[in-house]
Structure 1
């Protein structure tokens, strides 16, 4: 890996997360949805469960800032729920359930990416 910017690393991690989610049968509805209150990284549908899934992607190159569990604080979950509600308000489609997941991507030189998927964090 050559020297990469944080944006490059984040974009790579997000693409790996999307590939992971689609391999599980989820269909990506939106990426990097923004409004005045923040951004949702990935919004996907789980057709098998009639569920819309809001996915926070955390890409790390080290454990310096903690793992996936430490990355999503109660305040972050609250913000994700608020953003999810705003996104849902603008949709015509309805789902039986809503879920917030976190996908952690760990990128280290000379190693395959490590993917951690935590479902239902909030």
Structure 2
């Protein structure tokens, strides 16, 4: 991954974490890695529910809107990662697990657009 792309992703994740916090969630972890299986961008708690959040950041004019980025295969991988995170922490929360998506769209000028979709998988 290029430095510019990595910086873009990091910036988008920061905006996403702020949005989730403003929505009343508690950020538990960022960029949690599980060997070769993958990475969870943000792990948060929303009341009694564990939230695994995928963050997609795009510049405007790109080919795909960030909210269209979670395929069924990606959703399955996120659920598998969520279960691995739960095992590493010692058990499931009483409210279960939810997969959310935060799409960040960066226009050429003006403020970024941040969309939060709950329960995408």
> Is 1:109 the counterpart of 2:108 in the alignment?
yes
Tell me what 1:67 maps to: 65
Contact 2:66 2:105 in 1 (8 A): no
Q: CA deviation at 1:94?
A: 3.7
- Matched residue pairs, number? 117
Which stretches in structure 1 are left out of the alignment for 5+ residues?
A: none
Displacement of 1:63 in angstroms is 4.3
Q: Which runs of 4+ in 1 moved over 4 A?
A: none
After TM superposition, give the deviation of residue 66 of structure 1 in Å.
1.3
Alignment of 1:1-80 (within 5 A): 5-36=4-35, 37-47=37-47, 50-80=48-78
Segments of 5+ residues of structure 2 without an aligned counterpart are none
Q: Deviations over 1:90-109 (max 9, x none)?
A: 11354122100000001112
- When normalised by structure 2's length, the TM-score is 0.90
2:90 corresponding residue in structure 1: 92
SS at match of 2:24: coil
